[in-house]
Amino acid sequence: MDTKTLIDNLNKDLAEELAAVIQYTIYSAKVTGPYRPQLQQFLLAEVPEEQLHAQFLANKIVALGGEPTTKPSAVKLVHNNHEILEAVMEAETRAIAGYKQRAEEADAFGDVGLKVQLEDMVRDETGHREETERMLRDWPL
């Protein structure tokens, strides 16, 4: 794996994390119904962690000699609480797959610290996905 390819792939991850910050912020504003306070708090509680992920990725991209992206990935338009949770599940599933792949790339690149950090991020995103999945199990359509 060459440095440019790794930087490009880390920038894709950064774009996803920037989108996650937007997603959780906007979705928290769109929550409705009797569980609004709890669901809003659940969504807003994810923002600081996603910001930390984005900051780590931006710092690593610069350390590798690259330029961090300022453009987030697209955020899915949603209309109700169920769609919000489904969109969160999709985003977390993408993040897990991306970070697993990136950890393999970091290993091939020979950057053990990056590999370990990405594996930690897999753990974080897996926790988010599992909690969202548990909420969706009995969420009315």
Q: What is the CATH number of domain 3-137?
A: 1.20.1260.10
Task: Look up residue 19 and give its amino acid.
Answer: A
> What pTM does this model have?
0.95
CB count within 10 Å of CB 20 equals: 27
pLDDT band at residue 138 under the 50/70/90 scheme: confident
**Which sequence spans correspond to the domains of the chain?**
3-137
Per-residue exposure over 104-137, b if at least 16 CB sit within 10 Å of its own CB, e if not: ebbbebebeebbebbeebbebbbebbeebeebee
CA–CA distance, 100 with 11 (Å, rounded to integer): 15
pLDDT digits (tens, 9 = 90+) for 64-113: 999 999 999 999 999 999 999 999 999 999 999 999 999 999 999 999 99
